[in-house]
Structure 1
């Protein structure tokens, strides 16, 4: 089920032009989150559009929605879906924070 949901979310962000989409499998780490989906957009406007599309599509995939943070600035938007957390950055912020590197002991699925 989780893999199907992640594939569906990946398709949504790609359709909106997201770049370098990565899925970080957190299940092998002591974490309450099963996976991160990480991507970036070329501009704040695109980050906001990707974020809004993800939020709108969550019910279609049976994914819970708990909160969204950072939408007003749209430098880094975090969408908390419980088992899945979606991180959508502008490129500069993604390069600065490098979430995939922070969790380097987790498997990254591209």
Structure 2
């Protein structure tokens, strides 16, 4: 015969906000004031920009290269593997896939 448990003040405030949003026709997941993401990450790497960064750096990692060229880490890793085969860069350290490279 008991009733529901009394809500805490925070829970009561949340349910009241949800009710007013429902009355206004706004769904819980909709956010009109939300800004679109400014970061755009591409998959295609600009080799000229990458080579400028590589030549100017003493040592670097794939993560750092991806940040500087605004590409995904997988694209930076693929470029580094190609440059490693060509002999343009050398791997000097690192572990578990986080390798450190130097320009050759």
Do both share a fold (TM > 0.5)?
Answer: no
Give the structure with higher Rg (CA).
2
TM-score in terms of structure 1 length: 0.29
**Higher strand residue share:** 1
Q: Which structure ranks higher in relative contact order (CA pairs < 8 Å, sequence separation ≥ 6)?
A: 1
TM norm structure 2: 0.30
In proportion to residue count, which structure has more helix?
Answer: 2
